[in-house]
Amino acid sequence: MYVPHGPDDSAEQVTVVTTYLEMLHPPAALPPEAPPDSRLEQVHDPLVSFYRYLYDTVGGPWFWIDRRRMSDAALSAVIRDPGVEIYLLSVRGQPAGFCELDCRNPTEVELAYFGLIPEFIGRGLGPYLLRYAVDRAWRTQPRRVWVHTCSLDHPKALETYRRAGFEIYRTESATEEKPTLAT
């Protein structure tokens, strides 16, 4: 099992490298078969509490904090927007991960969030979930599909996106206060 990493506990600031990737054409390869005992389904009108559970459980090890800072009302407005799609991956009836597609811009789709619950990392579910997300994103025929990741994310995130067909178009580096999961 992968042990999450984080910023140096003694540091007050950390340099975060953010990498932006895009896909300008749908991938040619066939999608992988669903892993045994897995199920993928769209979550319609998600409860804020359920979304926060997924977001916090998947993103906690990677210091996902943006949605933690949002009020319930603001978060509800985003996740219940008809242009935002959330897909839940479950294995044997248990949530294993999720992806969120922001389709509000008609010319592009952002893979806004993507990840697995830590106990499901390393089981081959990530490439399957990512390919599903990419296939769903391309169904509206956007000009591009894009995603960003950063140096606080899973160490294989960038490699996984590139293997799926995304190409880097911009990298930024910034020194920030050490992230904390406290709200």
Question: Which tens digits make up the pLDDT trace of 79-117?
Answer: 999 999 999 999 999 999 999 999 999 999 999 999 999
Question: What does the block give as tokens for 64?
Answer: 């996902």
Global pTM value: 0.89
Residue ranges per domain, the chain? 28-147
Dihedral of alpha carbons 171, 172, 175, 180, sign: negative
Sheet holding 144-150, edge to edge: 38-43, 84-91, 94-102, 108-116, 144-150, 13-23, 167-177
Cα 16 to Cα 50: distance, rounded to the nearest angstrom? 29
User: Which residue stretches of the chain have pLDDT < 70?
Assistant: 1-11, 30-31, 179-183
Q: Which fold has domain 28-147?
A: Aminopeptidase (3.40.630)
Q: Number of H helices and number of E strands within the chain?
A: 4, 7
